[in-house]
Structure 1
Amino acid sequence: MATVQVKNLNKTYNPTTIPVKDISLTVEDNEFLTLLGPSGCGKSTTLRLIAGLEEPTRGQIMIGDRDVTALKPGDRNISMVFQSYALYPHMTVYENMASALRLRNMTDGEIKQRVSEASRFLDLREDLMNRKPGQLSGGQRQRVALGRALVRQPDVFLLDEPLSNLDALLRERVRAEIKQLFEKQNTPVVYVTHDQVEAMTLSTKVAVLYEGNVQQLAPPSELYSRPANQFVAGFVGSPQMNLLTLHCQGQTARLGQGKLPLPSGLAKPPRQVVLGVRPEDMRLAEESDSIRFPGEVFLVENLGMQNLLSVRLTPAEGGAAPIEVRSLLPSDLDWGGDNIELAVSPERLHWFDVESGDRLG
């Protein structure tokens, strides 16, 4: 097996177009790293640099103990699965899976064994092996693309948004298959997506990218529970985190009619701060809650097992206009009409600097 190391990777097209800015990361054996971010953040360019499909402006790419920065894609011993599947339309399933092995001058017996093992692993029935891609469903074509990658037994797997062309139900099923598939491999995986559900469910580590920079590199649970900055907080999580700019009064910040304690250890209390609170962490207030946020429900979105409530919090006397928040409550919970009182546990709050966006505390 081989570790993938990316050191100070940069790609510059011109002074105003720099999709990758000094990215460094490591993917160990048996690790599944997802590059996550919005369109144009540099995630696909980073993957193409690792694959050798693009040449870096500067930086180094190591696979195992080999410096592959200047090597052609075919000399890196990688397998790549593309968004468009990239299957040969005139070849059968068997021929598509075997094509890369023929280039290695392997014997027919060796090729047949590898293709047979991969097809059984991916549940590609024998009657499909003589069909051409045009005769397959989207999910079957995706399995063939994965099978073609598996038979090569590469040092690293690279996957570029492989589920984006599938409908929602099929995407969910194939996502589960990919997770089971790569849990049985010891090979490093680098996966690109803008879909946070894919990133959170598939990965052992996630690198959140924005404007060519890594904003945070961490396990999925840490991204969710302790986002490093305001961008990660707003990008990771569905429904999106409530991000509210609040005025501070000493060591507290006012939200509606409630006062919240600022995180301890601040050298100097700020004048303003950004509060982040996830909709699923806002709940109906109970008698034991000392901090409550009365408000008015103005929109209810039924999500099946839960309702997403949009609430205008009642401002303090003489305060500014009402602040709007969203709260995720069980669908069988009766909140008592248009008026509601919400609460949140202090340990569930996230605080960010207004100017830098970095996490406080």
Structure 2
Amino acid sequence: MAKLEIKNLNKTYNSKTIPVKNISLEVNDDEFLTLLGPSGCGKSTTLRLIAGLEQPTRGQILIGDRDVTHLKPGDRDISMVFQSYALYPHMTVYENMASGLKLRKIPTQEIRKRVEEASRLLDLNLDLMNRKPGQLSGGQRQRVALGRALVRQPEVFLLDEPLSNLDALLRERVRAEIKQLFEQQKAPVVYVTHDQVEAMTLSSKVAVLYEGNVQQLDPPQRIYTHPANQFVAGFVGSPQMNLLTLNCQGNHGILGDLHIPLPEGLSTPPQIVMGIRPEHVRLPQETDRLIVHGRIFLVENLGMQNLLSVRVTGEHDESTTVRALLSADVDWGGDEVKLAIPPESIHWFDLKTGDRLR
């Protein structure tokens, strides 16, 4: 096993297109790193640079003690699982899984042993092993692609949005299988996705990317509880965090008729961005002091809960929308409602830079 290290990685296609900007990351043995971000943020390009499918403009890629920056993909000792599965249609499942080992001239007995072990882990029975990819379901083809990567026993695993072609129910099942599978492998894993649920459930740490830069690198729970900036706060979490631009008076932000105390020691700006997740907004309890009044104008049924959009009107008839995730047992209709804002759940961001205010 070996550590993967990326140092100041940069990729420029032309003077105006820079998909990867000075990214530095480390992934140790037994770590699962997810590169998370919207389309065009540079996550797939970063993965292709690690794999050797593209060459960096500058920077280094180290696997263990080896500098692999300019090595061919086949010389890097990595395994990659593609979004499209990339299976050979004329080969059986067994032949697909064994193909990479045959090219490396691994003894036949060892190939059979590795393929059988991987097929057992992935629940690919003997009948499936003799079929060709065209005779398999999407979930089965995904397992074969994973199996082909596993039998290589590489130093690093790379996975490029491997679940995006699966339907929602199958994606959930395969996601759980991937988590169990790679917990047993111990090798560094780099996983690319735009799906935050995959990132939060699979990863030991997450790198949130935007416009080629790492916005935050942290364990999933810290990404959720302490977003580094306004982009991370808005991108991670479903429903999306409320990000409200408030006018300031003295050391308070103004939301409707509610004056919310700003963090101590903060020089009061003219305006500030307050963030609070819909799941943290609640109906008032006796101990709550920060209570805002508003009128419900939209109710979205999410099953066990309803997502309420509430219009809060200020002193000068300025309205702000606050979304709250509340019980589905109540018929909310278009009534007025009081909502409590727990101060411990509030996040503050600088209006100009978007950075988190400590």
Provide the TM-score with structure 2 as the length reference: 0.98
Q: Is the 8 A contact 2:307 2:326 kept in 1?
A: yes
Residues 1-361 of structure 1 aligned to structure 2 (within 5 Å): 1-266=1-266, 268-316=267-315, 319-333=316-330, 338-361=335-358
Amino acid at match of 1:17: T
Amino acid at match of 2:97: M
In structure 1, how many angstroms separate the alpha carbons of the residues matched to 2:52 and 2:65? 17
Q: Is the 8 A contact 1:47 1:160 kept in 2?
A: yes
Deviation of residue 325 (structure 1)?
1.1
Q: Is the 8 A contact 2:299 2:333 kept in 1?
A: no
Partner SS for 1:180: helix
Q: Is the 8 A contact 1:77 1:156 kept in 2?
A: yes
Deviation of residue 289 (structure 1)?
2.0
Partner SS for 2:190: strand
Provide the TM-score with structure 1 as the length reference: 0.98
Deviation of residue 49 (structure 1)?
0.2
Amino acid at match of 1:244: L
In structure 1, how many angstroms separate the alpha carbons of the residues matched to 2:239 and 2:280? 11
Partner SS for 1:184: helix
Aligned sequence identity (%):
75
CA RMSD of aligned residues (A): 1.0
Deviation of residue 186 (structure 1)?
0.6
Partner SS for 2:285: coil
Q: Is the 8 A contact 2:284 2:291 kept in 1?
A: yes
Partner SS for 1:140: helix
Flag structure 2 segments of 5+ consecutive residues without an equivalent. none
Q: For 1:100-119, what per-residue CA distance to the aligned partner results, in whole angstroms no more than 9, with x for missing partners?
A: 00011111111101100000
Amino acid at match of 1:309: L
Aligned residue pairs total 358
Stretch moving more, 282-291 or 90-99: 282-291
In structure 2, how many angstroms separate the alpha carbons of the residues matched to 1:258 and 1:88? 63
Amino acid at match of 1:226: H
Amino acid at match of 1:88: Y
In structure 2, how many angstroms separate the alpha carbons of the residues matched to 1:28 and 1:274? 36
Q: Is the 8 A contact 2:163 2:171 kept in 1?
A: yes
In structure 2, how many angstroms separate the alpha carbons of the residues matched to 1:9 and 1:231? 22
Deviation of residue 217 (structure 1)?
0.3
Deviation of residue 247 (structure 1)?
0.6
Q: For 1:201-241, what per-residue CA distance to the aligned partner results, in whole angstroms no more than 9, with x for missing partners?
A: 00000000000000000000001000000000000000000
In structure 2, how many angstroms separate the alpha carbons of the residues matched to 1:284 and 1:183? 40
Amino acid at match of 2:62: M
Amino acid at match of 1:339: E
Q: For 1:238-284, what per-residue CA distance to the aligned partner results, in whole angstroms no more than 9, with x for missing partners?
A: 00001111111111101111111111232x21111001110001111
Partner SS for 2:279: helix
In structure 1, how many angstroms separate the alpha carbons of the residues matched to 2:171 and 2:103? 32
